[in-house]
C-alpha cells in the first residue's frame, strides 16, 4: 500500500520586514487570534519579529476550543548555559531568561526529558493563546486539554490541529501518530541567536509518503511494517542517474514519523539540496518497533531482526519502488539513541551494506559485536579494513545524561566518546561531532546537518 501525503508549509506571520525575517518567509499570513471559525481563521503559531530582548522574536501559540475549561501547552524550551550544565543537571531557564550561548535542554537533565508546561489564556471566540520569546531554530510543542493532573499524569498530549504532523489531514493519520507539532523561529543577529536557516521551511520542497511493505520479521503488525519516505524536489523516476538513499532510524519510544516531525529532516534536506550543499536524494525512515526483543532489555534478537529486515526487506522494497542506486556506496545509514545502536550493529557486522554511517548518541548498554562484548571493544582486523572504506560520523551532546543513566563504557564516558577513542585508536578515520546539549532532537538535527554536509556521499579519505 502506498499513500501519498502532500506536505504543507506551516503558517508563519512576521510582524516586520527585515533581512533576518526574510529567511522565515515560509507561508501565508495567519489570521488574527480573535478570528473564529466563522471568519475562516486558522490558528497556527504566529511568529513575530519584535526586535526586542532577549531574542528578537516572539511566538503566539493558539488553540481553538470554546468548550474547554483548561488548555495547557508543553514546549521544548527550557534552556541552560554550557557552564551551568552537567550530565546530571541543567538550569531550567525559561525563554524570557535566555541569553546568547544558551541551548535547549530539559530540566532536570534526564534521558526522558522534562519540558515546561504552561496554562494558556482563554480569549474571545474560544481561542486560547500563549506567547513567549524564542531563539532561532525548530521547537516542538503539544497541547493538553482539560487536564487536571499537575504532572499531566493520565492526560494525552495532542498535536496542533492548525499545524498538524505532515501525515495527518482533517484528523485522519496515515502511519504512526505523532502527538506534537513544530514551529520554526528565525534568527535575529542583534541578540546573537544562532542562524538555523537550514531548519526553516523552504519555498521548494520535496514530498513525503507513508508506505507499508512486506516484512517477514515483523510481529506487530504481523508480516508488514511502515516506512516514511522523502522524495526530493523534482524527483524524476526516469532520471538516468539513480538517486542515492539515506536511511534513518529513530530512538526509543519513537517511530518512522519522528525524523520528519521532531527531527525536521525533510526541511533540512530541502534547504541543503536547494543551496547545493548536498545532492538530491531519497530519504527512508524506518520503524524499529514490532520486532522480536527490544532495545533496552532483549537486544540480541531485536538487532538481528532489524538488520535482517533492513537488508532483506526494506532496501529491496525501496530499490524496486523508487529510482535509487543499488550500489552500497550510494547508501547511508544514520540512527539516534537506540537507533545509534542499530547504526553500530550495521557498522560492525554489515559494514559493506552502506557507504556512510552516522552514529548519534548511542545507548551504552548494548553488547556488540557479540554478546558480552561492549560496543567500544576494538574492532577486528577484518572490521578495521572494512571500516576504512566507509565514512563514519560519531557524535552526540557533551552533556548527554545517557552517560549518567546507563553503564557500559569505561571511565564513566558516554558510549559515543568511548567509541570515538576506540575507532581512532584502531586507525579508523571518523568525523567526531559533539555539541553542547543533552539527549534530544536539538542535537540530532545538528548532527544530521553535519552528516549530510561533511560525511555522507563525500569521498572517503583512508
Specify if 91 maps to a domain: no
Predicted confidence at residue 364, as pLDDT, reads 65
Rounded to whole angstroms, the Cα distance separating 375 from 216 reads 28
Nearest to 256 by CA among 200, 316, 173, 328: 173
- The reply to whether 193 and 257 lie within a common domain is no
- The reply to whether 218 and 177 lie within a common domain is no
Specify if 83 maps to a domain: no
Rounded to whole angstroms, the Cα distance separating 307 from 84 reads 40
Cell of 7: 506536505
The total of structural domains in the chain comes to: 2
- The reply to whether 305 and 435 lie within a common domain is yes
- The reply to whether 257 and 145 lie within a common domain is no
* Longest distance between any two alpha carbons in the chain, whole Å: 70
- The reply to whether 376 and 339 lie within a common domain is yes
Rounded to whole angstroms, the Cα distance separating 321 from 108 reads 45
Specify if 186 maps to a domain: yes
Q: What does the mean pLDDT of the chain come to? A: 87
- Domain containing residue 42: CATH number: 2.60.40.10
- The reply to whether 237 and 270 lie within a common domain is yes
- Report the half-sphere exposure of 20 (CA within 13 A, side-chain side): 25
User: If you average pLDDT over residues 375-391, what whole number do you get?
Assistant: 87
Q: Angle 76-78-82 (CA atoms, 0-180°, nearest 5)? A: 120
- 108-112, 390-394, 449-453: which has the minimum mean pLDDT? 108-112
Say which residue the cell 484528523 belongs to.
Answer: 171
Specify if 95 maps to a domain: no
User: Three-state DSSP class for 59?
Assistant: strand
Q: What is the share, in percent, of the chain residues with pLDDT greater than 90?
A: 77
Task: Give the tens place of pLDDT for each residue, 161-205.
Answer: 999 999 999 889 999 999 999 999 999 999 999 999 999 999 999
Specify if 318 maps to a domain: yes
- Helix %, strand %, coil % for the chain, to 5? 25, 25, 50
**DSSP line for 60-88:** EEEEE-TT-S-EEEEES--EE-GGG--SS
Nearest to 104 by CA among 81, 131, 72, 74: 81
Rounded to whole angstroms, the Cα distance separating 56 from 218 reads 48
CB atoms within 10 A of CB 437: 25
Domain end residue (candidates: 199, 215, 237): 199
Specify if 106 maps to a domain: no
Whats the size of the chain, residue-wise? 462
- Domain containing residue 276: CATH number: 3.40.50.1820
- The reply to whether 346 and 420 lie within a common domain is yes
- The reply to whether 180 and 246 lie within a common domain is no
Task: Give the tens place of pLDDT for each residue, 295-352.
Answer: 888 888 999 999 999 999 999 999 999 999 999 999 999 999 999 999 999 999 999 9
Rounded to whole angstroms, the Cα distance separating 388 from 395 reads 18
- Report the half-sphere exposure of 264 (CA within 13 A, side-chain side): 31
Instruction: Please state the pTM of the whole predicted model.
Output: 0.90
Task: Give the tens place of pLDDT for each residue, 116-153.
Answer: 999 999 998 999 999 999 999 999 999 999 999 999 99
User: If you average pLDDT over residues 445-458, what whole number do you get?
Assistant: 97
Domain end residue (candidates: 135, 165, 199): 199
Specify if 363 maps to a domain: yes
Specify if 304 maps to a domain: yes
Say which residue the cell 538550569 belongs to.
Answer: 91
- The reply to whether 158 and 220 lie within a common domain is no
User: If you average pLDDT over residues 389-415, what whole number do you get?
Assistant: 75
- 56-60, 222-226, 402-406: which has the minimum mean pLDDT? 402-406
Interacting residues of 366 by C-beta distance below 8 A, sequence separation 6+ = 295, 299, 303, 341, 344, 375, 408
Q: 391-397 and 356-360: which strand pairing?
A: parallel
- 16-20, 102-106, 259-263, 411-415: which has the minimum mean pLDDT? 16-20
Rounded to whole angstroms, the Cα distance separating 117 from 139 reads 14
State which residues form the domain around 340: 207-455
DSSP H helices in 310-378: 315-321, 338-349
Domain end residue (candidates: 176, 199, 222): 199
User: Three-state DSSP class for 57?
Assistant: strand
**Residue 332's beta-bridge partner residues?**
246, 356
8 A C-beta contact, residue 326 and residue 315: no
From residue 274, give the alpha-carbon distance in Å to each of 133, 188, 332, 353. 29, 23, 20, 28
- The reply to whether 307 and 392 lie within a common domain is yes
- The reply to whether 195 and 217 lie within a common domain is no
Cis bond leading into 71, ω under 30°? no
Cell of 219: 510481529
- The reply to whether 185 and 233 lie within a common domain is no
Amino acid at each position: 500500500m502506498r499513500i501519498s501525503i502532500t506536505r504543507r508549509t506551516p503558517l508563519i506571520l512576521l510582524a516586520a520586514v527585515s533581512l533576518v525575517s526574510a529567511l522565515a518567509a515560509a507561508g501565508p499570513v495567519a489570521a488574527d487570534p480573535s478570528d473564529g471559525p466563522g471568519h475562516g481563521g486558522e490558528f497556527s503559531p504566529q511568529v513575530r519579529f519584535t526586535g526586542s530582548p532577549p531574542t528578537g522574536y516572539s511566538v503566539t501559540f493558539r488553540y481553538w476550543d470554546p468548550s474547554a475549561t483548561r488548555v495547557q501547552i508543553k514546549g521544548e524550551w527550557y534552556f541552560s548555559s554550557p557552564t551551568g550544565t552537567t550530565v546530571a543537571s541543567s538550569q531550567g531557564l525559561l525563554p524570557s531568561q535566555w541569553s546568547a550561548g544558551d541551548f535547549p535542554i530539559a530540566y532536570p537533565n534526564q534521558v526522558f526529558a522534562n519540558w515546561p508546561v504552561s496554562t494558556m489564556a482563554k480569549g474571545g471566540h474560544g481561542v486560547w493563546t500563549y506567547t513567549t520569546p524564542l531563539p532561532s531554530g525548530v521547537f516542538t510543542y503539544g497541547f493538553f486539554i482539560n487536564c487536571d493532573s499537575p504532572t499531566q499524569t493520565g492526560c494525552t498530549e495532542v498535536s496542533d490541529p492548525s499545524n498538524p504532523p505532515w501525515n495527518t489531514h482533517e484528523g485522519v493519520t496515515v502511519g504512526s501518530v505523532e502527538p506534537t507539532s513544530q514551529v520554526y523561529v528565525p534568527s535575529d543577529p542583534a541578540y546573537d541567536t544562532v542562524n538555523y536557516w537550514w531548519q526553516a521551511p523552504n519555498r521548494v520542497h520535496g514530498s513525503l509518503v507513508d508506505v507499508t511493505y512486506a516484512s517477514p520479521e515483523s510481529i506487530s503488525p504481523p508480516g508488514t511494517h511502515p516506512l516514511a519516505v522523502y522524495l526530493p524536489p523534482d524527483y524524476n523516476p526516469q532520471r538516468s542517474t539513480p538517486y542515492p538513499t539515506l536511511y534513518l532510524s529513530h530512538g526509543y519510544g519513537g517511530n518512522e514519523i519522528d525524523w520528519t516531525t521532531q527531527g525536521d529532516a525533510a526541511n533540512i534536506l530541502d534547504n541543503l539540496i536547494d543551496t547545493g550543499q548536498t545532492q538530491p536524494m531519497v530519504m527512508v525512515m524506518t520503524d524499529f518497533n514490532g520486532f522480536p526483543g527490544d532495545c533496552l532489555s532483549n537486544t540480541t534478537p531485536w538487532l538481528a531482526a532489524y538488520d535482517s529486515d533492513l537488508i532483506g526487506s526494506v532496501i529491496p522494497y525501496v530499490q524496486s519502488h523508487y529510482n535509487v542506486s543499488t550500489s552500497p556506496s550510494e547508501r547511508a545509514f544514520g540512527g539516534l539513541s537506540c537507533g545509534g545502536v542499530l547504526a553500530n550493529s550495521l557498522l560492525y557486522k554489515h559494514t559493506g551494506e552502506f557507504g556512510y554511517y552516522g552514529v548519534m548518541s548511542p545507548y551504552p548498554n548494548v553488547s556488540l559485536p557479540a554478546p558480552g562484548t561492549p560496543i567500544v571493544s576494538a574492532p577486528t582486523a577484518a572490521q578495521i579494513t572494512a571500516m576504512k572504506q566507509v565514512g563514519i560520523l560519531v557524535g552526540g551532546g557533551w552533556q548527554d545524561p545517557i552517560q549518567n543513566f546507563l553503564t557500559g563504557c569505561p571511565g564513566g564516558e558516554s558510549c559515543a566518546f568511548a567509541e570515538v577513542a576506540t575507532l581512532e585508536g584502531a586507525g579508523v578515520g571518523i568525523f567526531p561531532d559533539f555539541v553542547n546539549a543533552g539527549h534530544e532532537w536539538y542535537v540530532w538535527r545538528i548532527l544530521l546537518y553535519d552528516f549530510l554536509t561533511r560525511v555522507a556521499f563525500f569521498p572517503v579519505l583512508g
